[in-house]
Amino acid sequence: MRIAFVGTGVMGRSMAGHLLAAGHEVRVHTRTRAKAEPLLAAGARWAETSAAAADGADAALSMVGHPSDVDEVWRGPSGFLRVARPGQLLVDLTTSDPALARVLAAEAAAKGAEALDAPVSGGDRGAREATLSIMVGGSPAGFAQARPLLAVLGKTLVLQGGPGAGQLCKLANQVAVASGMVAVCEALAFARATGLDAAAVLESISGGAAGSWGLSNLAPRVLKGDFAPGFHVRHFTKDLGLALAAAQASGAELPGLRLAARLYAEVERAGDADLGTQVLARLYFSRLGA
């Protein structure tokens, strides 16, 4: 297939690479061309704009940062929808605003195209290993059309409902991740505060009832002092803001989410917005003087 891929950051680069390795013709565009150079060296073609990448493509995918970026890539002067045509598949893999996803789906449908919101979970490792969980909102026909491509990127593909449902599911995921990261960091901080060997504690609790993805994958990075981003704090705080807004609109009271959002806002104010979400542990450790 002829595929446009816009956004080649931490996760997008790996995802576009999988599509290229699967034999598809991939045209890429990103704000900073240098980030796309490994893909270009592997055979991808460069496009000067999102519209240029999508023009004539069978499918156009975006993996960018914020809802405003999604809006620009899709609806901007050089966006996907400027060149959308009947039968074309448009997929947003970004964690974004459910309301925006519904608008994009309606505008794509007006042009005869299928639009899906399909945010992913699994972090940089899931993107590299093509084991992502992909949560999809859109029509059953669009999902069927997208499934072969999404199967190249992830292992768990679930249609959650109509437009916007994929984004809502991802926000539920982020609610769980947020409270989970608070729990991981508090467990490590407790171990340090009580004089335990945190690595030994981690070995004991990771396989028991406390076990979680964060405990198994991010806590070891914390103990090594590795705060490199698998998922940036600045993107996570954006997600938590979207989740808080959706919770308020639905009348859901989520104190764990509110606590996590407050803590991550503090992390961002400390200047750590471009580090990984596991850097929250450093905030806890600083309060111990450790």
> Which tens digit of pLDDT belongs to each residue from 66-80?
999 999 999 999 999
Residues 6+ apart with CB under 8 A from 122: 131, 132, 133, 154
170 is a catalytic site residue: yes
Query: 25 and 151 share a domain?
Result: yes
CATH number of the domain within which 27 lies: 3.40.50.720
Instruction: Provide the domain limits for residue 30.
Output: 2-161
Query: 231 and 282 share a domain?
Result: yes
Query: 123 and 93 share a domain?
Result: yes
Query: 200 and 141 share a domain?
Result: no
Which one of 35, 111, 155, 170 is the catalytic residue? Answer: 170
- C-alpha 5/C-alpha 27 separation (Å) is 6
For position 39, what pLDDT does the model report? 97
For position 210, what pLDDT does the model report? 95
| Tens digits of residue pLDDT in 36-58 | 999 999 999 999 999 999 999 99
Query: 128 and 200 share a domain?
Result: no
From 161, 178, 199, the end of a domain falls on 161
Query: 87 and 56 share a domain?
Result: yes
Pairing of strands 114-117, 89-92: parallel
Query: 24 and 151 share a domain?
Result: yes
**Under a CB-based contact definition with an 8 Å cutoff, are residues 62 and 80 in contact?**
yes
10 pLDDT band, cuts 50/70/90, is confident
Q: In 3D, which of 40, 45, 7, 51 has the Cα closest to residue 26?
A: 45
Task: Taking residues 222-246, report their average pLDDT.
Answer: 95
Query: 206 and 147 share a domain?
Result: no
Query: 146 and 20 share a domain?
Result: yes
From 161, 180, 209, the end of a domain falls on 161
**Quick one: what percent of the chain has pLDDT higher than 70?**
100
From 109, 134, 161, the end of a domain falls on 161
| Tens digits of residue pLDDT in 91-132 | 999 999 999 999 999 999 999 999 999 999 998 899 999 999
Query: 226 and 139 share a domain?
Result: no
Please tell me the total count of domains within the chain. 2
Q: In 3D, which of 190, 144, 175 has the Cα closest to residue 264?
A: 175
**Residue 60's beta-bridge partner residues?**
4, 90
Query: 207 and 71 share a domain?
Result: no
For position 142, what pLDDT does the model report? 98
CATH number of the domain within which 200 lies: 1.10.1040.10
For position 290, what pLDDT does the model report? 53
Query: 58 and 180 share a domain?
Result: no
**Under a CB-based contact definition with an 8 Å cutoff, are residues 58 and 88 in contact?**
yes
Q: What is the pTM of this model?
A: 0.92
